[in-house]
Amino acid sequence: MQSGSRPKASSVSLSPIDLALFASRMDAICEEMGVVLRQAALSPNIRDRLDFSCAIFDRSGQLAAQAAHIPVHLGSMAFAMAGIVSRVDWADGDMLVLNDPYLGGTHLPDVTLVAPLFVEGQITAFVVNRAHHADIGASSPGSMPISRSLFDEGLIIPPSHLLRNGAVVDEVLERIVGATRNPSDARGDFFAQISANHAGVARLGQLVRVMGRAALDLALEDLNAYGERLARAVLADIPEGVYRFEDVMDDDGQGARDIPIRLALRASASGIHLDFSGTASQVQGNINCPLAVTAAAVLYVFRCLMPAQTPACAGSFRPIALEAPEGCLVNACRPAAVAAGNVETSMRLVDVVMGALAQAIPDGMPAASCGSMSNLAMGCAAPGAAWDYYETIGGGMGAGVHGGGWSGVQTHMTNTLNTPIEVLEARLPLRVERYGLRDGSGGGGACPGGEGLVRELRFLGAAEATLLTERRRSRPWGSAGGEPGASGRNRLNGAEISGKVRVSLQPGDLLAIETPGGGGCGSRA
């Protein structure tokens, strides 16, 4: 069934108090979905690192609310969901599963489940969650390979019904989990995602049945209008003009180096327009981005400028437009490899947008942060001893005019936790020999950049590992005369290895990751 016509709502706007209560209730539903997902999941990636996101969309697929989860998940969903929901013939009890980066996904390990809410026989809204699965069927453990094509990166899931009329479509679920090394754990994580959406549908349904479908429409219209007003008030403080900035990706893992991302940012009375013309063409390696990921990075930066009470809804982003030439690094075409575009290129996009804005509002932009999620995927495919694990490792935050950067934290496009050492050592055949701050890695200045991290893992059994890291050649830039942060470094048994590499490990091998520091702000006294 396609969505029904919009009920005619009252023309009376909600009071500020009622609007605030409505926004809080919507956000609370997203938070509850996240709690259900975390508590029901089996993998450390979801249960401990919290690599998942939950959101609500209106009946046309426009963002209505989200929890404070993962920026790269949420922004890309906000950009792409309307296209996803419009081409499905929905029925009550359905649930869609997808991970295709060129049809609304990000990269293949991020698997999205979409469920409609029907009230009075009509589609009223959608609840959505996206979770990172450590194994989605790639040949290398952790499913973050040194790939040259999307087809090297694992199982591609086009938008498919995982549930029909409330019943699991077994052949779809078994096809997905059957591609993994540990089907029982993968199945458990998918049922956790299903449960999270069931919780969202139930709670949102309760809210809509109390307030009515027409009142929901009115509330969403008011919420979008309020978000747009707040956004335009902030953007009006950016002086009109064109601001240009350029930064580079270290490499693509396939031989290309110093790959430029170029931006012309135009601020005007009508809003903000971002043009990535001049950016490098898509590359053979996997640092390419689908446009949805580029949009996520852009929206994240501008959301950071907005006041805390700005609702996470479509209206808050209406004044922002972007364009990127088709086939370039940040608007790649199928079947370009994208595994690292979601996690590494998205971070550089933030640097580029912030670098452009720093010319317009220098006091409002910090120096560059570490600029890499320092991805480590690892595992073993041996029968009876198979395991997969994936983690991102924090670094230094860039300093700003109001203070130094934080040390050893996740920044910008990720918002995950580290897996506790006790969990890692209890579940996996490895030992964490060192985990601490990397002294001296933050850029100097009147306000120093944050320090990166050092993480050393001793392997107790044979395994394979893949590193997808950035800022190993370039350095996070400083601002207002501040010094750049130190570049990162990866080592195996003391010997330096490249930023993007797959290695075979033997018992006793020591893998060390030293993450970049943040840039400093202001000249030293």
pLDDT in tens, 41-96: 999 989 999 999 999 999 999 999 998 777 787 778 878 888 889 889 999 999 99
**137 found inside a domain:** yes
**239 found inside a domain:** no
Domain end position, chosen among 195, 229, 263: 229
Domain end position, chosen among 201, 229, 257: 229
Eight-class DSSP state of 464: E
pTM: 0.94
Flag whether pLDDT at 2 surpasses 50.
no
**Number of domains the chain contains:** 2
Give me the pLDDT at residue 69, please: 75
What is the DSSP secondary-structure string of 35-52?
Answer: HHHHHH--SHHHHTS--E
Mean pLDDT for the stretch of residues 342-363 = 97
**339 found inside a domain:** no
pLDDT in tens, 136-194: 999 999 999 999 999 999 999 999 999 999 999 999 999 999 999 889 999 999 999 99
Domain end position, chosen among 184, 201, 229: 229
**59 found inside a domain:** yes
For 345, left (φ over 0), alpha (ψ -120 to 50), or beta? alpha
Give me the pLDDT at residue 13, please: 82
**459 found inside a domain:** yes
CA distance 172 to 157: 9
Residue range of the domain that includes 463: 366-525
What angle (nearest 5°) sits at the alpha carbon of residue 264, between those of residues 260 and 267? Answer: 155
Is the preceding peptide bond at 429 cis, omega within 30 degrees of 0?
Answer: no
**268 found inside a domain:** no
The fraction of the chain above a pLDDT of 70, given in percent, is 98
CA distance 426 to 286: 32
Instruction: Give the number of other Cβ atoms within 10 Å of residue 187's Cβ.
Output: 17
Give me the pLDDT at residue 482, please: 97
